[in-house]
Amino acid sequence: MIVKLPFPATLADLMNVEGKAELIGGRIVEHTASGIIPGRVSRRIVRSLDDFTPRLGIGEAFGDNVGYAIDPPLTSGRQSFSPDASYHMGQLPANQMGFAEGGPTFAVEVRSENDYGPWADREYAAKRADYFEAGTLVVWDVDPVGQTVTKYDSANRTVGTTFRPGDTADAEAAVPGWRLDVTALFA
């Protein structure tokens, strides 16, 4: 849903929106809540990333609804992201009650019940392009129905590597050495 404002919305306006939303082209775009399975999948990814953080010694894992502010706006007009899971190696802002600055190093988008079909695939592709323009190194498109994790990276922005049950997914280039068992992710 798009929240209509009488003027272009700002990042400050976005901070006052309840629930998950992003700022794109001066419009606040709200997102519907996720179901149980997408929520469980994103939680498992964040938990694994968070457990791995001490080994890497840099960065921080964030769960659903942590905002990333993009300034200046991207070519598409996007000024924020709110991934389902993410890993951020950039400097955190002085005000840690606010958004992280810049794109996440690694972003995860978990498909919800209504995120399927050609229109959804186009939206996901456009959002991945925005992530890469913002400096994100790896983006996962996670499909709980098909039980797949498709990895896109800054070198292969449009052609992904798909991991299925029995495979071990990675986010190399963004989170070196971290791995996730796809079977356990969807169990």
Question: Could you state, in order of their start, the residue ranges of all structural domains in the chain?
Answer: 35-65+83-186
What's the mean per-residue pLDDT of the chain?
91
Put simply, whether the predicted model's pTM sits higher than 0.85 gets the answer: yes
89 and 107 Cβ atoms separated by less than 8 Å:
no
Give the architecture (CATH level 2) of 35-65+83-186: Alpha-Beta Complex (3.90)
Residue 51, burial from CB neighbour count under 10 angstroms (0-12, 13-18, 19+): exposed
66 and 100 Cβ atoms separated by less than 8 Å:
yes
* 152 strand-pairing partners: 139
Range in 64-68, 148-152, 177-181 with the lowest mean pLDDT: 64-68
